Structure 1
Amino acid sequence: MTKQELRKQFIEKRTQLSQVEYVGMSQKLLQQFQQLDLTAIKCIHAFLPIHKRREPDTTLIINWLKNNHPEIKIVYPKTNFAHCTMQSFIDDADLVLENSGFNIPEPVSGNQVESEEIDMILVPLLAFDKQGYRVGYGKGFYDRFITLCRQDVKLIGLSFFEPVDTIDDIDKYDKALQVCITPNKVYKF
């Protein structure tokens, strides 16, 4: 299937999740995330969920990291829709979050981190395939952002659903994940 077909299908699958299913699946994603080796990780870039789109509730992972790995710096994206770019801001006392015009919780002020400092990125997605490629919302924010990071940055996808066999229209700009976490399994590529 193409990205456009998968995007439509998986947006629909997400909207059909009940609140109980959504909460349970997000908790299972946290349990799977807890199995990752974080010993070399100093900075994690985490997206904040758009709950109305039923994105995985990354606040569970973020809170777990804060409680169990306070040495790890957590940063959040601020998007520039005019240029399809992102900046990263540290989760600290100076951070101020507000919902953007697209109803995305984002930093409006705080301390910025350079992309080269990031060791791991939690990458949002709608679907992924057995080769580690993902389907996002189609704007290419994360693919562009990843090119600005170190080559050894760990790309971790979070998906409520198992992989499709293949995404038919992968191109040279698509960046493969190294890991994708589902409620039932951690896929490594």
Structure 2
Amino acid sequence: MEKSEIRKQYLLKRKSLLSDEVFYLSDKIFKNFINYFKPYPGQKIHIFIPIEKFNEIRTEIFINYFLDQKIRVFVPKIVDTKLISVEIFPETLFETNGWGISEPLSEVDSEENNFDFIITPLLYCDAKGNRVGYGKGFYDAFFENISKDSKKIGVNYFNPDFLIDDVWEHDIPLDYLVTPTDVLSFFSGL
């Protein structure tokens, strides 16, 4: 299936989820992530903040846990059409941008490029780790500038059903996908 059709289909699928389902499934994804990857204090995790109107995985569950466990947390912010990585703390102030995404007020790029985990938003991920996002290319550009040792992890409510037909040369696949029922690995190391 082509990315444009997948994008339409999975936006609708996700929008059909009730608020209770979003929280329940997000919690199951969170628990699968913690049980599989076992993050510990001092690690560096880059994680997105959800777009609530699109019923994205409620990553505040992850963020609150990471901050409580003294795990360093970095979130994306779009500045001049580029995704930068801002480190956040319990006292960090946020504002909502034009896309309805909560972002830190700070525009200071941490310039960190060696994360233990990068928890990545997506609409769909196939069985080879290829992802469909919103089509802006921010994460592919971001992935080009990070350490090859950083584990790129997608989170999704749905398991892969089919392969993406129009994978492009510059698309960078994920290393893992975490769903409410599974953790799928697309490469041989952990």
Scaled by the length of structure 1, the TM-score of the pair is 0.91
2:105 is paired with a residue whose SS is: strand
Please name the residue that 1:76 is paired with: 75
Higher alpha-carbon deviation: 40-49 or 150-159: 40-49
Q: CA RMSD for the aligned pairs?
A: 1.7
1:23 is paired with a residue whose SS is: helix
**Residue correspondences, number:** 185
Query: How far, CA to CA, are the matches of 2:52 and 2:21 in structure 1?
Result: 13
Query: How far, CA to CA, are the matches of 1:95 and 1:19 in structure 2?
Result: 26
2:39 is paired with a residue whose SS is: coil
What's the CA shift for 1:46? 0.7
What's the CA shift for 1:66? 2.1
Amino acid in structure 2 at the alignment position of 1:165: F
- Identify unmatched segments of 5+ residues in structure 2: none
CA contact (8 A) 1:88 1:113 kept: yes
Please name the residue that 2:9 is paired with: 9
Q: Percent identity?
A: 36
Query: How far, CA to CA, are the matches of 1:100 and 1:20 in structure 2?
Result: 25
The answer to whether structure 1 residue 184 and structure 2 residue 185 are counterparts is: no
Query: How far, CA to CA, are the matches of 1:21 and 1:59 in structure 2?
Result: 16
Structure 2 counterparts to residues 32-181 of structure 1, below 5 A: 32-35=32-35, 36-38=37-39, 42-67=43-68, 69-70=69-70, 72-80=71-79, 82-83=80-81, 85-92=82-89, 95-109=92-106, 112-181=109-178
Query: How far, CA to CA, are the matches of 2:104 and 2:41 in structure 1?
Result: 26
CA contact (8 A) 1:32 1:185 kept: yes
2:103 is paired with a residue whose SS is: strand
Scaled by the length of structure 2, the TM-score of the pair is 0.91
- Identify unmatched segments of 5+ residues in structure 1: none
- Name the CA shift for 1:41/1:143 in 2 (closer, same or farther; >3 Å): farther
Amino acid in structure 1 at the alignment position of 2:48: F
What's the CA shift for 1:104? 0.7
Deviation beyond 4 Å, 4+ runs, structure 1: none
What's the CA shift for 1:65? 1.7
The answer to whether structure 1 residue 24 and structure 2 residue 24 are counterparts is: yes
Amino acid in structure 2 at the alignment position of 1:124: P
What's the CA shift for 1:107? 1.6
